[in-house]
């Protein structure tokens, strides 16, 4: 019973490098989202998707790109890493975007940009 | 826009005592959902409890209850008979009528002392 799987768990990048954080869910959830967690800031929404082929920006989308080619996968791409993107990243999925739907979170990816 | 305020950055509580974690919110949505998540030191986000804005009864899940006061825009989490394993960060979150994910508070760091 995997739920939401994120890879990698830890990553160190140099400034300017690009990389993709992977997220996969096996619950057939339509809604998927990416958050970043910074100390003292709570979690903030980066991008979200209400279904395959549909994505939209959240509160802090700059420097990140997403796509949703399948229901299961929702990768997050860092185009040119910056130290300000050092954070813990969480992928989440839920049955729908409606307000009474619990979000299931992955284990998180701790990213450091040097 | 939605906003969640958690005014207690940290709390120390004796084991077996009841704990109340404060959460106030602000939204212009008529319909919304309120959530509490627990984040232990291992980092994962664990769903605890949900309250819908039109629910007349306060939500309960085992030792967790949500004290929902709509007129005051508060959604406090109550943990009865605290245990050492309750030590963690606790986040209050909400979503509204749109698909733009959850809005989180900054969290409360709860430490249960023996």
A51 touches chain B (CB under 8 A): no
Structure tokens at A7: 């890879």
A100 has a pLDDT exceeding 80: no
Give the Cα separation of B12 and B25 in Å (integer). 24
| Lowest-pLDDT range of A4-13, A44-53, A89-98, B77-86 | A89-98
Q: What are A68's two structure tokens? A: 């949703």
pLDDT at position A1: 66
Mark the ranges of chain B whose per-residue pLDDT is less than 70: none
**Can you read off the two tokens belonging to residue A101?**
């739907």
Mutation to test the B interface, candidates A42, A88, A104, most B Cβ within 10 Å = A42
* Residues A112/A102, Cβ–Cβ less than 8 Å: no
Pairing of strands A31-38, B19-21: unpaired
> Which of B43, B102, B108 is most worth mutating to test chain A (most A CB atoms within 10 A of its CB)?
B102
Do A48 and B43 make contact, defined as CB atoms within 8 angstroms?
Answer: no
Is residue A40 over pLDDT 90?
no
Cα separation, B114 vs B112, in Å, equals 7
| Residue partners of A110: CB distance under 8 A and separation at least 6 | A9, A10, A11, A88, B43
Average pLDDT over residues A3-17: 97
Summarize the confidence of residues A95-101 as an average pLDDT.
80
- Is the pLDDT higher at B100 or at A65? A65
Residue whose C-alpha is closest to residue B33's, from B89, B93, B107? B93
Residue matched to tokens 């984040």 = B39
Q: What DSSP character marks residue B71?
A: T
Q: Please give the Cα distance from A51 to A72 (Å, whole number).
A: 10
């Amino acid at each position: 019973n995997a739920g939401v799987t994120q890879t990698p768990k830890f990553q160190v990048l140099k400034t300017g490098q690009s990389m993709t954080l992977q997220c996969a869910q096996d619950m057939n959830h339509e809604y998927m989202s990416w958050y970043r967690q910074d100390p003292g800031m709570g979690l903030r929404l980066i991008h979200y998707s209400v279904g395959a082929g549909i994505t939209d920006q959240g509160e802090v989308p700059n420097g990140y790109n997403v796509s949703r080619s399948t229901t299961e996968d929702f990768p997050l791409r860092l185009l040119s890493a910056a130290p300000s993107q050092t954070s813990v990243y969480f992928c989440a999925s839920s049955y729908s975007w409606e307000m009474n739907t619990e979000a299931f979170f992955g284990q998180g990816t701790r990213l450091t940009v040097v | 826009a939605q906003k969640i305020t958690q005014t207690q950055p940290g709390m120390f509580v004796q084991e077996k005592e009841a704990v109340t974690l404060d959460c106030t919110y602000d939204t212009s949505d008529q319909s919304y959902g309120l959530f509490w998540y627990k984040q232990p030191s291992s980092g994962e986000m664990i769903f605890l409890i949900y309250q819908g804005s039109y629910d007349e009864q306060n939500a309960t899940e085992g030792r967790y209850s949500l004290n929902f006061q709509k007129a005051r825009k508060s959604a406090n989490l109550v943990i009865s008979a605290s245990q050492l394993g309750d030590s963690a960060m606790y986040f209050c979150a909400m979503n509204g009528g749109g698909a733009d994910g959850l809005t989180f508070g900054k969290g409360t760091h709860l430490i249960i002392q023996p």
